[in-house]
Amino acid sequence: MTGSVQQGQAESAKRYDVFHTDCPARDVVDHVTSRWGVWVLISLRDNSLRFYELRESIRGISEKMLAQTLRALVQDGLVWREVEPTTPPQVTYGLTEFGKDVGEPLTELFDRITRRLAPRGAE
């Protein structure tokens, strides 16, 4: 049994070499760790949000950058997108199971950093 697990891991490691420029996993890592990808995943950690709610929760992001970041994360299977056919259309985003799995360590990292920082105004 252990041999097949090790063999499966070895095959997976061969298939996804993130250090190789044409590795498909590299694109996903680039999207997740992009300037705005991290914040989108953290913002969606607890619940789904509409586009404008995401824009308001992530200070400094333009509509264009948010749309591009969401498009990439949806294409990667990390975020789901639901459009309600209203006028104007209401678009809601949330994390897929894969997105929750990938976003969890990012949320933990964010939480660890904020716990270690001195409270604002206490400098």
For 75-87, how does the pLDDT look when each residue is reduced to its tens digit (9 = 90+)? Answer: 999 999 999 999 9
Scan for tokens 């607890």, then name that residue.
Answer: 46
Strands 79-84 and 90-95: antiparallel
Residue 60, Cβ neighbours under 10 Å: how many?
A: 8
Joined together, the tokens standing for residue 25 give 């996993």
Instruction: Give the pLDDT band of residue 6 (cuts 50, 70, 90).
Output: very low
Global pTM exceeds 0.75: yes
CA 93/CA 43 separation, integer angstroms? 10
User: Quick one: pLDDT at residue 123?
Assistant: 54
Cis omega (within 30 of 0) for bond into 88: yes
Scan for tokens 């200070």, then name that residue.
Answer: 59
Question: Given a cut of 50, is residue 52 above it in pLDDT?
Answer: yes
Q: What is the pLDDT of residues 12-32, one digit of tens each?
A: 555 677 778 888 888 888 888
Scan for tokens 């509409």, then name that residue.
Answer: 50
